[in-house]
Chain A
Amino acid sequence: MTDKKLKILLARYKRFLLPMGVSIASVVIVLFVIFPQINSISQKMSDISEQTKKVESLRQSYSIITQSDDSALDNGVQVTTSALPTAKNIPLIFNGLSEAASSSNTTLTDFSINVGGIYGRAANFTQEGLIGAPTVEVVARVDGIDPKNTIQFAKSLVSKLPLSQINKIDISGSSAVYNISFFFKPYNSSGSTSVDSLAPVSQQDFNFINQLNTGN
């Protein structure tokens, strides 16, 4: 009885099955093809825009690298690492003190360095000083003709490399004791800065490097 009824209904509404099926197919296509594709296209366009910028930036970085003067870069690295050594560099500190004494017509009679942790694990100095770089503490004894002469050592030292900061001055007669902090900074342990957006070393940077080198 039920089959018979079904057959009757089927025979009667057979003509509506195709339009109904087509309508359902349209809805399915909209829901499962068109909407997801719109989302996917939107995402892909965003990815392409980002990727285009990245490729453009990399090309620019490559261009900057190839156009940079290698000898100027070598000089820049040499001067900047002399100004701010990557580790506690005692010969460089001694050189800075000697040059300051020489150019101020004073005599470096002795100096002591608080070397703590130069060897072994403690040498991996991660603690940063008050102004963003660790320091080596040095006490230098300088002799001059008189206080006006021995104070010239301070003026000279500030313009010499490596970078330093005078924390305490004690001058009595022709003898002076200076407490000095010499800055250093290890290379960034996270590795090289991303090359995705490498900036060129500008002329202003090179001028600054020259100033550091000449002590002006």
Chain B
Amino acid sequence: MKDEGINLVAGRRAEQKVEHFISGPSLIIFGVVFVIATVLVIYSFLLSSQYDSLVSQETSVRAQISTVSAKRDKITIIHERLAAIRSIIAKRSSLSATVFNILSIIPDDFSLDGITADDNQVSITVTSNSLAEFADFLEQKIPSFAAKDKTGVKTVQVRAFSQSKNGYSLGLDFLMNGGTAK
């Protein structure tokens, strides 16, 4: 019968190789991981200190600002008021500008009897003794005005033309929205 013994030495050598193969890198990896973790914790701590320092700086500057709160409030009020004022000026109705623009085309020797104006319509009544002046006014100045006006007049209508003891009277409606006269 053949003696078939088991070689235990060969098996132990293989295990020792595995042990060396595992324990060396694992210790190195642990060392690296530990160092990285330590560095990160220290860095995080430093960042926390930096943040705390900034918060205390903020508190300090706010305290400084509170000592000049009266001036700060004035600046704030001026900004707030100016913004609102600019907005109002930009958006408010320019009725008086429109009226003055219309009045600028009335000849000097015309007599202005009345004006009614709102956002939709400006109505004027003028009188003059000269029919020739009226002809020029209606044929030249009004069409020219209607073509060039930038204040919002869309349509110009002759409301009435009549003769009275004071001369000739002309009623004109300047319509802002292109509608019909009231």
Question: A interface vs B, CB < 8 Å?
Answer: 15-16, 18-20, 22-23, 25-26, 29-30, 33-34, 37-38, 40-41, 44-45, 47-48, 51-52, 54-55, 58-59, 61-62, 64-66, 68, 70, 73-74, 76-77, 80-81, 83-84, 130-133, 146-148, 151, 154-155, 157-158, 163, 165-173, 183, 185, 187-188, 192-193, 195, 198-201, 205, 208-209, 212
Contacts and interface: CB of A to CB of B under 8 A. Distances in A.
A195 B72 contact: yes
A25 B30 contact: yes
Chain A interface, >50% SS class: helix
B26 A23 contact: yes
Nearest to B91: A131
Contact of B47 (A48, A68, A170, A173): A48
B27 to A, nearest CB: 6
Contacts of B68: 62, 65-66
Interface residues of B, number: 66
B162 interface: no
A165 B41 CA distance: 66
Interface stretch (B55-63, B140-148, B150-158): B55-63
B115 to A, nearest CB: 4
Chain B interface, >50% SS class: helix
Contact of A199 (B29, B74, B79, B114): B79
A49 to B, nearest CB: 10
B80 interface: yes
Contacts of B92: 131, 163, 165, 183
Contact of A37 (B41, B55, B100): B41
